[in-house]
Amino acid sequence: MDHLLAIIPFDVKEDYEIGLPPVKLPNKKQMLVLSPDEDLSETFEDVLLKLDELVGLGELKKRVRDHAKYIQFLQLRRERGFAEEEDINIHSVFIGNPGTGKTTVAGMMGRIYKKMGLLSSGHVHEVDRVDLVGEYIGQTAPKVKEAIEKARGGVLFIDEAYSLARTNDDTKDFGREVIEILMKEMSNGDGDLAIISAGYPKEMYHFLNSNPGLKSRFNLTYEFPDFMPQELAQISMYASRKKGIKLTRGAKIKIEELITEAFRKRDRTFGNARFVFDLLERAKINLGLRIMRKKDIEQVHTDALSTITQEDVDSMSVYPVKFRPKIPVDSKLLATSMTELDELIGMDPIKKEIHELVELVTYYRSVGKSVLNSFNLHTVFIGNPGTGKTTVARILTKIYKALGILERGHMIETDRQGLVAGFVGQTAIKTAERINEAMGGVLFIDEAYSLTTGFQNTASADYGNEVVQTILKRMEDHRGEFFVFAAGYPENMEVFLKANPGLRSRFDKILRFEDYSVADLIKIAAKMLEDKGYELDQKAATHLAGYLSFLHSYRDRYFGNARTVRTVVDQTIKNQNLRLAALPKDQRVDQKILTINDVNEFESNTDQFVFNRNRIGFRSSDR
For the segment 166-200, what is each residue's pLDDT rounded down to a tens digit?
A: 654 445 567 788 888 999 988 888 888 999 999 88
Residue 372, sorted as left (phi over 0), alpha (psi -120 to 50) or beta, turns out to be: beta
With cut-offs at 50, 70 and 90, classify the pLDDT of residue 88.
confident
On the question of pLDDT at 613 being above 80, the answer is no
Q: How far apart are CA 7 and CA 23, in angstroms?
A: 6
Q: What is the pLDDT of residue 280?
A: 92
Residue 307: closest CA among 251, 254, 259 = 251
Residues 6+ apart with CB under 8 A from 514: 346, 347, 383, 387
Least confident residue range of 39-43, 200-204, 235-239, 572-576: 39-43
pLDDT digits (tens, 9 = 90+) for 196-210: 999 888 888 888 887
pLDDT digits (tens, 9 = 90+) for 255-307: 999 999 888 888 777 888 988 999 999 999 999 999 888 888 888 888 889 99
Alpha-carbon 468 to chain mean position: 11
With cut-offs at 50, 70 and 90, classify the pLDDT of residue 54.
confident
SS3 156: strand
Q: What is the pLDDT of residue 65?
A: 86
More confident residue, 514 or 465: 514
Alpha carbon of 276 to those of 99, 105, 255: distances in Å?
A: 9, 18, 9
pLDDT digits (tens, 9 = 90+) for 484-507: 999 998 888 888 888 777 788 888
Where does the chain hold its CATH 1.10.8.60 domain(s)?
229-314, 518-609
Please state whether beta strands 23-24 and 31-32 pair in parallel, antiparallel, or not at all (unpaired): antiparallel
Q: How far apart are CA 275 and CA 271, in angstroms?
A: 5
What percent of the chain shows pLDDT beyond 90?
30
Element (H, E) at 252: helix 249-264
On the question of pLDDT at 614 being above 60, the answer is no
For the domain spanning 331-513, the CATH number is 3.40.50.300
Q: What is the pLDDT of residue 523?
A: 93
pLDDT, average across residues 526-545: 92
Q: What is the pLDDT of residue 276?
A: 92
Alpha-carbon 205 to chain mean position: 19
On the question of pLDDT at 461 being above 90, the answer is no
Q: Is the CATH number of domain 518-609 1.10.8.60? A: yes
Least confident residue range of 404-408, 431-435, 537-541: 404-408
Q: What is the pLDDT of residue 137?
A: 81
Q: What is the pLDDT of residue 339?
A: 94
pLDDT, average across residues 350-359: 91
Q: Is the CATH number of domain 229-314 1.10.3720.10? A: no
What percent of the chain shows pLDDT beyond 70?
88
Q: How many helices (H) and strands (E) does the chain have?
A: 24, 16
On the question of pLDDT at 102 being above 80, the answer is yes
Q: What is the pLDDT of residue 89?
A: 81
Q: How far apart are CA 395 and CA 392, in angstroms?
A: 5
With cut-offs at 50, 70 and 90, classify the pLDDT of residue 67.
confident
With cut-offs at 50, 70 and 90, classify the pLDDT of residue 605.
confident
Q: What is the pLDDT of residue 616?
A: 37
pLDDT, average across residues 434-449: 91
More confident residue, 307 or 613: 307
**Architecture of the CATH domain 36-224:** 3-Layer(aba) Sandwich (3.40)
Query: What mean pLDDT value characterizes the chain?
Result: 84
With cut-offs at 50, 70 and 90, classify the pLDDT of residue 545.
very high
State the pTM of this model. Answer: 0.54
pLDDT digits (tens, 9 = 90+) for 468-488: 888 888 888 888 889 999 999
With cut-offs at 50, 70 and 90, classify the pLDDT of residue 165.
confident
pLDDT digits (tens, 9 = 90+) for 303-336: 889 999 999 998 888 766 555 667 788 899 999 9
SS3 126: strand
Q: What is the pLDDT of residue 297?
A: 83
On the question of pLDDT at 431 being above 80, the answer is yes
On the question of pLDDT at 457 being above 50, the answer is no
Q: What is the pLDDT of residue 435?
A: 92
Least confident residue range of 78-92, 260-274, 518-532: 78-92
Residue 155: closest CA among 207, 104, 224 = 104
Where does the chain hold its CATH 3.40.50.300 domain(s)?
36-224, 331-513
More confident residue, 315 or 228: 228
Residue 612: closest CA among 555, 560, 565, 561 = 555
Q: How far apart are CA 472 and CA 486, in angstroms?
A: 12
Q: Are the C-beta atoms of 390 and 494 separated by less than 8 Å?
A: no
More confident residue, 371 or 457: 371
Residue 537: closest CA among 467, 468, 592 = 592
Sheet of 155-158, strands arranged across: 124-127, 155-158, 194-199, 92-96, 220-224
Q: What is the pLDDT of residue 246?
A: 92
Least confident residue range of 232-236, 353-357, 369-373, 429-433: 369-373
With cut-offs at 50, 70 and 90, classify the pLDDT of residue 543.
very high
More confident residue, 21 or 511: 511
